């Protein structure tokens, strides 16, 4: 009877171990495709860094011991990643506060759509952006978020 109990305990431990192993491999498989490659020149040229998600970089002063602040020019987004880039540090939107003053916005010729477009860009899985200048965002990225899907 004691021997059967020990066999049952060993079997249960093995099952738990296999479940934990399967779950950790599943998480690793999911995150292995969650990355973005960032380049300091258009057309995926120049210096490159890979940021593996999930990640929130509130500033880009020290990414892999390099300053990438306002340096990103092109990017490739991995198959399980979503990249959001911001014009300001700490994910702050540039003109958000101005949206609270519609008279000032109108006098400056700024619309609410301008605020959204000028403050952040979101790129989905498998996106290839050969130049952020197309979005009037070259030399502007100061923080970013990589989410895993």
Distance (Å, rounded) from C-alpha 118 to C-alpha 106? 16
Q: What is the pLDDT of residue 15?
A: 46
Q: Are residues 23 and 91 in the same domain?
A: no
Residues 42, 13, single domain; the answer is no
Measured distance CA(88)–CA(1) in Å, rounded: 68
Give residue 117's pLDDT: 56
- Residuewise pLDDT in 10s, the chain (149 residues): 566 666 656 455 544 454 444 444 444 445 789 999 999 999 999 999 999 999 999 999 999 899 999 999 999 999 999 999 988 876 665 555 666 767 777 777 777 666 555 578 999 999 999 999 998 888 889 999 999 99
Does one domain contain both 3 and 66?
no
* Tally of domains within the chain: 2
> Is 39 in the same domain as 18?
no
Q: Are 37 and 24 in the same domain?
A: no
pLDDT of residue 118: 56
| Rounded-to-integer distance, Cα 63 and Cα 125, Å | 22
Domain assignment of residue 4, given as a range: 1-32
Same domain for 86 and 105, yes or no, is: yes
On whether both 38 and 97 belong to a single domain, the answer is yes
* CB neighbour list of residue 90: distance below 8 Å, 6 or more residues apart: 58, 59, 143
Other beta carbons within 10 Å of 138? 16
CATH of the domain at 62: 2.60.20.10
């Amino acid at each position: 009877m004691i021997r059967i109990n020990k066999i049952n305990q060993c079997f249960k431990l093995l099952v738990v171990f296999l479940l934990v192993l399967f779950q950790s491999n599943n998480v690793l498989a999911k995150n292995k495709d969650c990355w973005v490659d960032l380049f300091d020149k258009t057309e995926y040229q120049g210096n490159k860094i890979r940021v593996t998600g999930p990640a929130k970089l509130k500033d880009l002063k020290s990414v892999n011991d390099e300053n990438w602040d306002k340096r990103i020019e092109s990017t490739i987004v991995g198959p399980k990643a979503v990249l959001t880039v911001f014009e300001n540090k700490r994910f702050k939107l540039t003109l958000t506060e101005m949206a609270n003053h519609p008279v000032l916005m109108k006098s400056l010729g700024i619309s609410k759509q301008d605020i959204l477009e000028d403050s952040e860009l979101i790129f989905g899985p498998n996106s290839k952006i050969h130049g952020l200048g197309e979005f009037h965002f070259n030399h502007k990225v100061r923080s970013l978020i990589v989410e895993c899907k």
